[in-house]
Chains A and B, each alone.
Chain A
Amino acid sequence: MQTESQTESLEKEIQAAEHPRELAVDVMAAIQARDGYLSDAGVAEAAGLLGMSPVEIEELATFYTFIYREPVGRYVIHICDSVVCWMEGAETIGEHLMKALGIRMGETTPDGLFTLLPVCCIGYCDRVPAILINKKAYGPLTIGELDRIIDGLRNSDDANEAAAEAANPKKQVLKR
């Protein structure tokens, strides 16, 4: 979670930059870290901070894989489906996760914990099949290990916090 001081330091960085727009991805990522995803309001905020128009931010936000314009879960699982992972069972990993979490690719669990997304080669071809969870790489995976990782995340403090947030409609940032 982004704190106020981090937002302030970002503002200082923007003021000090010769070309503020070079920080566009950092700013979008910081707003996303604070809000969980980059909302319409977040796009407007980024535009204001950088002195760019909202449409310029939008054309970046919709271009990049790791900027989420829709609400996502606390843990975003990116499943590598490129050729080396594919050869070593990426489809099985994906199918298992969809079944275990009860969602399809591109969806978020109702408790707001997990989002499943495909991703192209993540550069861990020496440890296949591999996935990313909140940008941390896991691999080589077996179904058993995958289950242990998911269970571990379900029972973490972060997960309890997310569940409390999901139960409080005022704070709820997730659809459904």
Chain B
Amino acid sequence: MYPQVLLQNRKPDRIATLAEYQRSGGYEGLSRVLEAQAPTEVRQVLLDAILLGRGGAAFPAGVKMMTVAEDAPFPRYLVCNADEMEPGTFKDRVLIHADPHQLIEGMALAAYAVSAEHGIIFIRPEYEGAARILEREIGIAREAGFLGKNILGSGFSFELVVHRSGGRYICGEVTAQLNALEGRRPNPKQPPPYPTEKGLWQKPTVLQNVETLCCIPHILKNGAQWFKDLALTESGAGTKVFGISGKVNRPGCYELPMGVRLSEIIEEYAGGMKNGAAFKACLPGGASTSYLTQEHYHIEMDFEALKKVGNRLGTGAIMVFDQHTCMVAATLNLIEFFARESCGWCTPCREGIPYIRDILWRIETGEGEASDIPALRKICKYLWHAYCAFAPGAVAPVEGLLTYFEDEMTAHINQKKCPFKGS
């Protein structure tokens, strides 16, 4: 059993209360920091800890905070991205339901690091239960003096509210989320200016994922070196809450050291493959990552190792496929999702994704032609020129299909049917 940090207070049927969180050392970091550390020192610790964003992009949280200029105007905003709409991902829901005060303390500390006085938790409508928990626990934290005016007599003030989304995948994109918060149509905006310069209401805004923020209290309490030492690999830092689903016996969230092997997650924690099925492939971090196959079965799951094989750790949402799963059909399902969720703002994404969907649909239904494969490769390349990261994400599994499962595509085309379906 590896050390549990973010999920140490998880219970099967209820949240950890404020008292329980405090018994595990909760809010100690905040008290100590407000008493003895300057915001620049906090930023430096997070930078030293190599805390990479857990929402998918893996951008260093410390670097993001450093880009808020010393003389940047006020008010400054801290936004917590609890939108979590990446297919396969449910870790943020689990984190909020396990230990809401961990997120609240993380936000107070992050806000202090960039001198933000307003905090907003942007949450998807499917997580109404989590939204209510947060609203209630924010009230409790305020009563206890951990939020609001003059926190713990330090002179630092921070107000925190919950913002409910109307529900749309693109809202997870930083600039789209800022538009959504302003009551505008959530199309992405292309920087510059970056949100840390001109974000919400044209004021400096730092946006971080739930899991990233949850790491912060522990880093400040135990130090940057402690956090780095949690990882099994030299390149990794901290733990990762992996959400595993699909053809495994025990789908769920498991907090494991960064760099743990994929095979260990599947066999030791997720209880192995279901009904004696064989591992065929998985998506390592949500729908907008590429496939890992048998050749990657023992890969070390951290940001660097995945990058080396041309993939991404993304959100760490592992979706496992077995030998009976048709990879053309699985990819078609993924691209259906992206076609539906594209905001429609730019042409490559709006037109290109449905084009890919139509070709995959033809292949899956036995109407594909050999020329479809090079055509798909070409269109995928065009989609890298879209306005935001949505389309490059959408083509990641398609490119994975082309790289690792071209034989399955060819079998569909030659047999004029899906070989995984009975004749």
Contacts and interface: CB of A to CB of B under 8 A. Distances in A.
Interface of A: 19, 21-26, 28-29, 50, 52, 56, 59-60, 63-67, 81-84, 86-88, 120-128, 132, 135-137
B89 interface: yes
Given A83-B287, A84-B246, A132 B126 contact: yes
15 contacts: A19-B183, A25-B166, A25-B180, A50-B183, A56-B183, A64-B165, A64-B167, A66-B166, A84-B88, A87-B325, A120-B85, A120-B340, A123-B93, A124-B90, A125-B89
Given A50-B183, A82-B333, 12 more contacts: A29-B166, A60-B166, A63-B185, A64-B167, A83-B283, A84-B246, A120-B169, A121-B85, A123-B84, A123-B124, A124-B126, A125-B243
B126 A84 contact: no
Nearest to B331: A83
Interface of B: 84-90, 92-93, 124-128, 163-169, 180-186, 201, 243, 245-247, 251-253, 283, 287, 317, 319, 321, 325, 330, 333-334, 336-337, 340-341, 343
A83 B243 contact: no
Contacts of B169: 120
Contacts of B185: 59-60, 63
B252 A126 contact: yes
Contact of B127 (A63, A83, A123, A128): A123
A125 B340 contact: no
A84 B168 contact: no
A125 B182 contact: no
Nearest to B185: A59
B36 to A, nearest CB: 34
Given A123-B126, A125-B243, A66 B90 contact: no
A25 B245 contact: no
Contacts of A137: 126
A56 B167 CA distance: 17
B246 A87 contact: yes
B287 A82 contact: yes
A81 B341 CA distance: 13
Given A84-B88, A132-B126, A137-B126, A63 B181 contact: no
Contacts of A125: 87-90, 243, 245-246, 251, 317, 319
A84 B163 contact: no
Contacts of A122: 126
Given A28-B166, A132-B126, A23 B337 contact: no
A26 B181 CA distance: 11
A28 B165 CA distance: 11
Given A87-B330, A120-B169, A126 B245 contact: yes
Nearest to B287: A83
Nearest to A84: B245
B92 to A, nearest CB: 8
A22 B183 contact: yes
B166 A84 contact: no
Contacts of A29: 164, 166
A49 to B, nearest CB: 12
B183 A24 contact: yes
A121 B126 CA distance: 10
Nearest to B87: A121
Contacts of B168: 63-65
Contact of A19 (B166, B182, B336): B182
A154 B255 CA distance: 41
A3 B288 CA distance: 43
Contact of B243 (A23, A60, A126): A126
B6 to A, nearest CB: 17
A125 B164 CA distance: 21
A81 B186 CA distance: 23
A67 B168 CA distance: 11
